[in-house]
Copies of this chain bind each other. A is one copy, B any other.
Amino acid sequence: MKKSTKFLTLIAVASLLVSSITSCNKKAEETKKTVTEPTFNLATAKAEIEAANKEFMAFFAAGDSVGLANLYTQDAKFMNTGAPAITGRKNIQSALSGIIKSGVSRADLRTVEVWGTEDLITEEGEISLFVEEAEVYQGKYIVVWKKDNGKWKLFRDIFNSNLPAE
């Protein structure tokens, strides 16, 4: 081997090593990126929950208990006041139908805060119920939302009144 050939070989080996190490560091960086940049964003989730609440209010205003029940997961629990928790869409539909039939024609939901992850969000909120234009119920709630086929659904729903029992 000539001196110049030897030199070229050394250059080639060195560049091979450098490129291998560079690609290695790149790989590590890419892996790290996956870790430190979560795709989940709580503000986005909050907006999604608020949009889901708007659907809830629209179904309520339309007196559509089937539409309302479909906003819950199949295994949801509706933890109503004055009765044990009600489990499952069919039973939840009956309960909501009963509330609508009692004359409640509007539900106002206001999200206060949310916490959680891409699969499960816990929401604190405020609720008002109206019979015609009169507010008949003023309360607070916690709803646990579960991602179900890409859509947030009510999974646990508990609330109570701000007004003293008569």
How many residues on chain A are close to B (CB under 8 Å)? Answer: 43
Tell which of A28, A142, A158, A161 has the most Cβ of chain B within 10 Å.
A142
Q: How many copies does the complex hold?
A: 2
Chain B residues with Cβ under 8 A from A141's Cβ? Answer: 158
A79 within 8 A of B: yes
Interface stretch among A66-74, A93-101, A112-120? A112-120
A82 within 8 A of B: yes
A65 within 8 A of B: no
Chain B residues with Cβ under 8 A from A164's Cβ? Answer: 82-83
A80 nearest in chain B by CB position: B160
Interface of A is mostly: mixed
Bound: A163/B124 CA distance, A: 24
Chosen A-B contacts, 9 in total, with CB atoms closer than 8 Å, are: A13-B13, A24-B27, A31-B32, A31-B35, A81-B81, A82-B160, A117-B117, A122-B144, A158-B160
A134 within 8 A of B: no
Interface stretch among A15-23, A43-51, A53-61, A103-111? A15-23
Within the complex, which residue of B20, B116, B140, B160 is in contact with A17, where a contact is CB–CB below 8 Å? Answer: B20
